[in-house]
Structure 1
Amino acid sequence: MTNSSNTSLLDQLAKSFEPKDIEGPRYAQWEQAGLFRSGQHVHTTNDNAPTFVIQCPPPNVTGTLHMGHAFNQTIMDGLARYHRMKGYDTAFIPGTDHAGIATQIVVERQLDEENISRHDLGREKFVEKVWEWKEQSGNAITKQIRRLGASCDWEREYFTMDENLTRGVAETFVRLYEQGLIYRGKRLVNWDPVLGTAVSDLEVESVEEQGHLWEIRYPLTQPTNDLTHLVVATTRPETMLGDVAVMVHPDDERYQHLIGQTVTLPLVGREIPIIADDYVDKSFGTGVVKVTPAHDFNDYAVGERHGLDKISILTLDAKINENAPEKYQGLDRFEARKQIVADLEAIGALQAIKPHTLMVPRGDRTNTVIEPMLTDQWFVAMSKPAPADSLHPGKSITEVALEVVANGQIKFVPENWTNTYNQWLNNIQDWCISRQLWWGHQIPAWYAENGEIIVARDENEAKQKAAAAGIQGELRRDEDVLDTWFSSALVPFTDLGWPEQTPDLAKYLPSSVLVTGFDIIFFWVARMVMMSMHMTGQVPFHTVYVHGLVCDMEGKKMSKSRGNTIDPVDLIDGIDVESLVKKRTFGLMNPKQADSIAKRTRKDFPDGVPAYGTDALRFTMAAYATLGRNINFDLKRCEGYRNFNNKLWNATRFVLMNTEAQEPFMQFCALTEYSTVDKWIRSQLQRLIQTVERNFAEYRFDNIANAIYHFVWDEYCDWYLEMAKVQIQQGNPAQKLATQRTLIEVLETVLRLAHPIIPYITEELWQKVSLVAAKRTAEENLSISVQPYPEPNPSLIDEKAEKQVAELKAQVDAIRALRSEMGLSPSERVPLFAQGDATMLEQNRPYLMALAKMSEVELHEQLPDLGAPVQVVGTTQLMLHVEIDVEAETARLNKEIERLNNEIAKANGKLSNPNFVERAPAAVVEQERERLASFTQTLSKVQEQLARLK
């Protein structure tokens, strides 16, 4: 034996499965042995082994992982482990993202608790604080990823602000600028007044709210006999201070004669023109619209078409500025709104205030109302043709990104997400990449004293460029940082060493698959495609597997504000209810909200959350992974898969108990004599391997998990192990040896098959099982994670054996139904009378006696007429020989018939009553109908029993 211990393998295996005892030590062993390093080819000596590369979407260093990360990690690691076992050179690359806005908010909130602002610290000291937090959060995240069993190549771990990635960011910025694809300009952007920075469209949530529509009279500068003013409707009266025109539709007959004239802006006194533009909807409101180019995106476009001024009336913290009348200067925008409405009413300019449902743009980080703000920002030109010296001359980066999906270089799974991707790119605007933050990649641009801009890779290069251009004096670096998604878009190649042409870049770009949620197709996926194609000429990945979001049981998105989040590690280790309450309410400023969340938590988890272990959590996530659908996470599924792991553990103990003493019996192949049952389970195993292989190719983890669950629980444990007991006890030496071989070989194969989904328990069990299954060297026995993945062997599929065992199972089920019908206890053994194929029944006899608990099986050409119930299975008839007290049984059945008739009468009475049917809840009525159907069906069976008895 290769087992060096004096104790048996069975004794080395704990009597029950305790995840906490094996998970930490096993992961440490894997990592210490370097099993997850890329560049290693298992099962092959071919230096040109295929590569499988998967980039981990870098979690933000804003705290800890959530359930969505657990889902994502399960899918990615399942793919990585599968391909590693298939012999691929596998690079599973982990990393974390600096997440500019999100991380800065976290640290600023921490400082708030100490009554310190970032401005008190200054930029340098504040950034030091953020780096301290990054170390704390980043370490917590990587620890969690390890707890989830992710087989990452930790030697490749990156952070998006590492020196090498930062160099790649600067290089990209400079090249795009030199190609004319990055520019600086004063443009209208989404502005978060709380954060004091521009934010992207994707970071703005439009929320339906109940507001008002204010109708304001704008007096004509030159009134006519029948018209003294135009009525303008607005949902934001404060912005009227920046109006530069009013507009009507050019075909609106009501106002055609006024086009070119002017109105006087109320409260301001400025004359503004009446213009015509097709943008106006004649049928909406009065058909007259105010134009405020500095505070509305549509008005900005109108202003550009008509050459209108842009008058900004807000400061960056959303207060009225010096461009408005002195009375309003310094007021908060919403305070100004109240004052302006009151003043309009006082001068008779307010015609009406009407309730109005509107979509309000709010920042997804701060929930504050976003302001369109005219500011100087940096932009990437999304639709401008690239210059002649680029990799795709004459084509915009958007065009190229659309082409690689259209021609199949990148494939979306499910395919319907292709339309989402295309739609966004076809309607894309120039990308604002600057953020007014302190944390992030500082924009590599310097300003000379004369205002000239110098873009360079670093300060030395900036000084050299300035000197070459004859620019003298100090250079001042741009204080803004880049949008987080700018650097994240470069990760597929910067973490492989770009801009240097490294061997890793040549070998591992493109990656094989990107696993991500649909919510960042725009944020990240499209931008990676654009940047990778433009900077390297290669797609960043071949396949994008898009999965749904993890929601709670009610289908609501998990969020801290709802108090329905669950830390995946809490599911692995367990957590008591009060600790869970503290976690969910931590940091909530609203006491009422915190109290509500606490009450709900205590109600949903009165006993806390049990420890399910990593494998149960991973199995649950895999089983939920139906293509593209959101996941309503239910803890009961975790409980079910924890029970599955216990079942697998106990089955292994049984197999070792019945095979270990025979090791190494693999040498005696010629002596084995496989039964129909052995051939059946081997055949079923081959079908399972085929199913798993097909579904890995189709990214159907739900089908993989369900197929493995069904085979292990239903076929192997519930049927084959019970049949194997019969064969071991009653078979001849060759049959017994065949059964033992089948037990261990099937189990060993299943462990390898399930390893990508449930790595810890399969490793623990395989270490014991593999020693029995075959003679192995210490190196071969290193880990299940580097063993060959099972390959299907169609020659072992035996349809005849499958058909025979299917009939045997049907016979056992039929006898169990008879036992239940006749009220026999599990320990009560009685004879079975059987009529049918004598050869088959004789072959099945030992299994029927053991599995259906029969005292004997008697074969009859014709079943005796004993009044007992009969089950028919194909051409076979089965009847239990039970001595019956006819008089007592008749009385019992008559009493049961009377009871059922009474229940049927009650149900019919309710259902025939119109008041009940019309007024009772639909679910209650349906329940009564189901009760009636059940009573009626049972009555029919009891009457049949009584008829047979007579």
Structure 2
Amino acid sequence: MAEEMSKNYDPAVNEPAILQKWLDGDYYKRREGVGDCTVTIPPPNVTGILHMGHATDDSIQDAIVRMARMRGRSTRWILGTDHAGIATQTKVDKKLKSEGISRLEIGRDKFIDACWDWTHEYGGTIVEQIKRMGCSVDFEGERFTMDPEYAEAVRKVFCDWYHDGLIYRGKRIVNWCPSCTTAISDDEAEYKEEKGHLWHLRYPLTEPVNGQEYIVVATTRPETMLGDTGVAVSSKDPEKAAFVGKTVKLPIVDREIPIFDDWHVDPNFGSGFVKVTPAHDPNDYAMGEAHGLEKINIFDEHAVVVEGYGEFTGMTRDECREAVVAWFEEHGLLDHIDEHEHSVMHCYRCDNTLEPWLSEQWFVAVDKLKQPALDAVKDGRVTFHPARWTDTYTTWMENLKDWCISRQLWWGHRIPVFYCEDCGWEDACMDDVHVCPTCGGTHVHQDENVLDTWFSSQLWTFATQGWPQKPEMLEGHHPTTALVTARDIIALWVARMVMSSLYFLDEVPFKDVVIYPTILAKDGSRMSKSKGNGVDPMDLIDMYGADAMRFNLLTLCTNNQDVKFDADIDKKTKKLKGSPRTEQARAFVTKIWNASRFLLMNMDGYTPGEPVAKTAADAWMFSRLAKAVKLVTEGIEHYTFGEMARGVQNFFWNEVCDWYVEVTKTRLKDDEDRLQAQRNLIFVLDTSLRIMHPLMPFVTEAIWDTMPASWLDMKADGTCERAEALMVAAWPEPADFERFIDEPAERSFELARAVVSDARSTRARYRISPKQALPVVVAAHSAEAAEALEGMSSFICGLANIPEMTVAIDAGFAGKPEASIALAGPDFDAYVVVGDLVDFAAEKARLEKELAASEKELAAAERTLSNEGFVAKAAPEVVAKKRERAAELTDTIAAIKAQLVDFA
């Protein structure tokens, strides 16, 4: 056994070998069992690569699935990728352009072939990265949103909703990207604060009003005035009432347009007169609908001015803006210009400024869909974790508008609506139509648009499981257990999945929605390639191993909305230099390996058997182990990963390794007690490895491979039946471990630990050899504590090298012994007698000198930090280090003052 474990654990060697073992054993495949755990992985873009959000998401999902598999549940973890319409088309467009080819030149069919070639070439990257993380998904059951079966499901949803009156075509304002030449949903538009101007333009009145010959409108977009068909004032602005019902002569185009009042207008914005361009602003569109205004689209799909506008025709938006402002200034109609900062929509893909644009699109009418989806969350069928995200969901659903589902792309699910050019027939059809069913004509064509990517991905939980072709595959596996995802797609994806699943299956798509925190850069900003502050999970795996990366990410999963990732990145090369917290996680992995190796090196003569609490340490350890089993089980069940991960690390490192293994070492040398000590140690180690496996699968599997059977593997007849791999071994159920919980034993042992720690810390503080015996006097604060300490006195004295320990209750305590160090605690005060081993006068002088130096340095640091100029101008990392040093000095000063009490 021991010889099978190498001296050092090398993730680069061990992880690939363990991964191959899992794959060869088909352990990832769907397994049937009692109870269900089905999870669908949020489909990443087919041509994407793993980022920190993916890595966090996948670490959480794997923990959920691995525990369920070990509990004997029926497990399905469904992997798949999304065709990513805009992203993929953009990349293929760029590739063709680099080859001197245009999409329009080769035509739709050949372009789609090029997209398929692209996905085949680059589509496997992220899947291989997920595999390398150790994610136990069924790779053989991988799905793709453009698979034929999936495409059929998408088509059915469109056709059913179309025929049920939930899908319609209409001309409305959409967010249009002139670069990608497609509509973008409101939720995908990115808002950026930009410095601009507020132009005040004079519009001549057709007839003077109260001696006034013109009005002044204020606008951030003077170029769109070419499409103005009205001017609005606030209904609550009495000063403008005289103008309502009058008209102005629109400059340049010489169009007479009305002035009206409307609730959309803010009377405090600009001059109080607002130009209304119904084809280029959503609020203006609403006002245009209410007041019967003409909707004039002045831009084409590339945001270039269309024919009919003289010298302005053919200009881009920016060119038109300059020309319009110059025209107004030349004709004395430019009143003045103000500096103005405002929020501008950008395309999430190409970063181009979006254009509110009137165009004909396909929409889903959501009125019949949103209330059932709201009810599902309100009545608890779908639960958000953390619970605060429920408000985000309900607020969005309550204000939900009809969903624009058409995209002006070639790559994607083409809208299955067919038109007859001869008789005007139109219908949504499951099969392609070449001959008109009404007139028999052959001039039939399909709609040119494709569906929004989110339309197809809304079916993810059920279309990946055989719907509609094989609905029996869903039985017992839907609703799925949990959806683990990011907060920014609660509206885009989560809500739409609930709506579609309720409509087509009459059940929710998942029971729990787990929202993981957004992983930010070290300085709190968003990670991005352009900033050079992004962290590649693969670099972390190369540097520290998959277990360390996964465990670190799980510790960050708290109730916080955002968390900072402490990566050090080279400013010049933008390469990862290190990550202190991931380094700490690797240290934990190493600790698990080294402690396990030590135990297995001392297993000569071992045979499996029942654990028996023969000592106080055994009883304490078994009780703590039972609570650790409960902690991890409930932590995964309730999705409290950060608290759970930190708790299990404290348990294994500080309790198992630093205490239980240490106090049990001597028993391994006792022939009479050796076998029981071995059985207890293997029982504790085996149980610990099982509960840590979902969090750190590689190292735990590697160790378990070398272990003998434990009590957990024993059958009623005394024989052992050991699983083929840890990942399919039985989970330690909390109910089976309840009998080990012993609160009095824990209480007593914790008191003993505290006395031992006091003696050890005194030796360390005053540089006294561990071999030097030190008497201890304890003043217990209660009779219970005194009794427990007296009962543990032999254990304490032996472990801490204490020749004599005197225990008294506070009331009978004679007072602080001479030449002793006092250590106060919640249950007792300990006095470690050091005698002449410590020069009290010299030690006091040394501490006072150290205190003065620390206080001086702290004062200087606080003066620097209180300087607003320094904080504003210094680099963030410099300020952060200064604050960290001030905090360290504060702690140091408090510790020194506590020590000085000993010399008072």
TM-score over 0.5 for the alignment? yes
**CA distance in 1: counterparts of 2:86 and 2:864, whole angstroms:** 60
- Three-state SS of the structure 1 residue aligned to 2:170 is strand
Structural mapping, 1:418-567, within 5 Å: 418-450=390-422, 452=424, 454-460=426-432, 462-463=433-434, 466-467=436-437, 469-567=438-536
Opposite residue 804 of structure 1, the aligned amino acid is S
Identity of aligned residues (%): 38
The counterpart of 2:620, out of the listed 680, 686, 700, is 680
Counterpart of 1:287 in structure 2 is: 272
Task: Confirm whether residue 18 of structure 1 aligns to residue 21 of structure 2.
Answer: no
**CA distance in 2: counterparts of 1:909 and 1:61, whole angstroms:** 56
Opposite residue 689 of structure 2, the aligned amino acid is L
Contact kept? 2:414, 2:447, Cα under 8 Å: yes
Counterpart of 1:114 in structure 2 is: 99
Compared CA separation, residues 722 and 235, structure 1 to 2 (3 A): same
Say what the alpha-carbon RMSD is for the aligned residues.
3.2
Counterpart of 2:602 in structure 1 is: 658
Counterpart of 1:647 in structure 2 is: 591
1:665 Cα offset (Å): 4.6
Contact kept? 2:793, 2:805, Cα under 8 Å: no
Task: Confirm whether residue 402 of structure 1 aligns to residue 408 of structure 2.
Answer: no
1:718 Cα offset (Å): 0.4
Compared CA separation, residues 453 and 290, structure 1 to 2 (3 A): farther
Compared CA separation, residues 717 and 198, structure 1 to 2 (3 A): same
Opposite residue 626 of structure 1, the aligned amino acid is T
1:921 Cα offset (Å): 7.0
1:230 Cα offset (Å): 1.3
Contiguous gaps of at least 5 residues in structure 2: 567-578, 780-785, 809-813, 872-878
Structural mapping, 1:731-750, within 5 Å: 731=670, 733=672, 735-750=673-688
Counterpart of 1:620 in structure 2 is: 552
Opposite residue 772 of structure 2, the aligned amino acid is R
**CA distance in 1: counterparts of 2:883 and 2:452, whole angstroms:** 58
Deviates more, 1:251-260 or 1:621-630: 251-260
Contact kept? 1:664, 1:775, Cα under 8 Å: no
Counterpart of 2:699 in structure 1 is: 761
1:95 Cα offset (Å): 0.5
Contact kept? 1:84, 1:90, Cα under 8 Å: yes
1:918 Cα offset (Å): 8.3
**CA distance in 2: counterparts of 1:722 and 1:825, whole angstroms:** 19
1:427-449 Cα deviation digits (max 9, x unpaired): 11111111111111111122221
Contact kept? 1:518, 1:546, Cα under 8 Å: yes
**CA distance in 1: counterparts of 2:696 and 2:774, whole angstroms:** 44
The counterpart of 1:352, out of the listed 336, 340, 349, is 336
The counterpart of 2:800, out of the listed 837, 852, 864, is 852
Task: Confirm whether residue 867 of structure 1 aligns to residue 819 of structure 2.
Answer: yes
Counterpart of 2:649 in structure 1 is: 709
Opposite residue 785 of structure 1, the aligned amino acid is M
1:601-648 Cα deviation digits (max 9, x unpaired): xxxxxxxxxx21111111111111113522211221111111111111
Structural mapping, 1:927-938, within 5 Å: 938=896
Deviates more, 1:620-629 or 1:746-755: 620-629
- Three-state SS of the structure 1 residue aligned to 2:208 is coil
Opposite residue 486 of structure 2, the aligned amino acid is G
For normalisation by structure 2, the TM-score amounts to 0.89
**CA distance in 1: counterparts of 2:865 and 2:297, whole angstroms:** 66
Contact kept? 2:405, 2:451, Cα under 8 Å: yes
Compared CA separation, residues 550 and 871, structure 1 to 2 (3 A): closer
Compared CA separation, residues 158 and 943, structure 1 to 2 (3 A): closer
**CA distance in 2: counterparts of 1:839 and 1:527, whole angstroms:** 60
- Three-state SS of the structure 1 residue aligned to 2:384 is strand
**CA distance in 1: counterparts of 2:85 and 2:855, whole angstroms:** 70
Counterpart of 2:722 in structure 1 is: 780
What is the number of equivalent residue pairs in this alignment? 865
Contact kept? 2:423, 2:439, Cα under 8 Å: no
Compared CA separation, residues 832 and 181, structure 1 to 2 (3 A): same
1:901 Cα offset (Å): 8.4
Opposite residue 192 of structure 1, the aligned amino acid is C
Contact kept? 2:714, 2:721, Cα under 8 Å: no
Deviates more, 1:271-280 or 1:225-234: 271-280
Task: Confirm whether residue 317 of structure 1 aligns to residue 305 of structure 2.
Answer: no
Opposite residue 531 of structure 1, the aligned amino acid is S
1:288 Cα offset (Å): 1.4
1:463 Cα offset (Å): 3.8
**CA distance in 1: counterparts of 2:43 and 2:739, whole angstroms:** 45
Contact kept? 1:447, 1:453, Cα under 8 Å: yes
**CA distance in 2: counterparts of 1:400 and 1:263, whole angstroms:** 48
Task: Confirm whether residue 238 of structure 1 aligns to residue 223 of structure 2.
Answer: yes
Compared CA separation, residues 266 and 680, structure 1 to 2 (3 A): same
Contact kept? 1:414, 1:545, Cα under 8 Å: yes
**CA distance in 1: counterparts of 2:866 and 2:166, whole angstroms:** 70
1:495 Cα offset (Å): 1.2
The counterpart of 2:582, out of the listed 630, 638, 642, is 638
Contiguous gaps of at least 5 residues in structure 1: 1-8, 42-48, 384-395, 574-610
**CA distance in 2: counterparts of 1:666 and 1:527, whole angstroms:** 54
1:240 Cα offset (Å): 0.6
Counterpart of 1:412 in structure 2 is: 384
1:247-297 Cα deviation digits (max 9, x unpaired): 223454434343333211111111112223232233333221111111111
Counterpart of 2:811 in structure 1 is: none
Task: Confirm whether residue 141 of structure 1 aligns to residue 126 of structure 2.
Answer: yes
1:163-197 Cα deviation digits (max 9, x unpaired): 00001111111111111111112221110000111
**CA distance in 2: counterparts of 1:304 and 1:898, whole angstroms:** 80
Compared CA separation, residues 248 and 451, structure 1 to 2 (3 A): farther
Task: Confirm whether residue 806 of structure 1 aligns to residue 750 of structure 2.
Answer: yes
Contact kept? 1:312, 1:323, Cα under 8 Å: no
Contact kept? 2:209, 2:243, Cα under 8 Å: no
Compared CA separation, residues 248 and 880, structure 1 to 2 (3 A): closer
**CA distance in 2: counterparts of 1:75 and 1:878, whole angstroms:** 47
Compared CA separation, residues 229 and 442, structure 1 to 2 (3 A): same
1:940 Cα offset (Å): 7.5
- Three-state SS of the structure 1 residue aligned to 2:709 is helix
Compared CA separation, residues 898 and 629, structure 1 to 2 (3 A): closer
- Three-state SS of the structure 1 residue aligned to 2:260 is strand
Contact kept? 2:518, 2:561, Cα under 8 Å: yes
Task: Confirm whether residue 332 of structure 1 aligns to residue 316 of structure 2.
Answer: yes
Opposite residue 216 of structure 1, the aligned amino acid is L
Opposite residue 413 of structure 2, the aligned amino acid is H
Contact kept? 2:789, 2:807, Cα under 8 Å: no
Contact kept? 2:606, 2:679, Cα under 8 Å: no
Deviates more, 1:630-639 or 1:279-288: 279-288
For normalisation by structure 1, the TM-score amounts to 0.85
- Three-state SS of the structure 2 residue aligned to 1:718 is helix
**CA distance in 1: counterparts of 2:470 and 2:894, whole angstroms:** 78
**CA distance in 2: counterparts of 1:914 and 1:37, whole angstroms:** 62
Contact kept? 1:165, 1:495, Cα under 8 Å: yes
Contact kept? 2:847, 2:896, Cα under 8 Å: no
1:807 Cα offset (Å): 2.1
Compared CA separation, residues 834 and 920, structure 1 to 2 (3 A): farther
Contact kept? 1:904, 1:936, Cα under 8 Å: no
**CA distance in 2: counterparts of 1:317 and 1:285, whole angstroms:** 30
Compared CA separation, residues 226 and 628, structure 1 to 2 (3 A): same
1:398 Cα offset (Å): 1.4
Contact kept? 1:311, 1:323, Cα under 8 Å: no
Compared CA separation, residues 928 and 147, structure 1 to 2 (3 A): closer
Structural mapping, 1:764-843, within 5 Å: 764-771=702-709, 780-792=722-734, 793-826=737-770, 828-830=771-773, 832=775
Compared CA separation, residues 82 and 258, structure 1 to 2 (3 A): same
**CA distance in 2: counterparts of 1:930 and 1:760, whole angstroms:** 36
1:894 Cα offset (Å): 7.0
Contact kept? 1:619, 1:758, Cα under 8 Å: yes
Opposite residue 10 of structure 1, the aligned amino acid is A
Contact kept? 1:833, 1:881, Cα under 8 Å: no
**CA distance in 2: counterparts of 1:402 and 1:627, whole angstroms:** 23
Contact kept? 2:434, 2:445, Cα under 8 Å: no
Contact kept? 2:822, 2:829, Cα under 8 Å: no
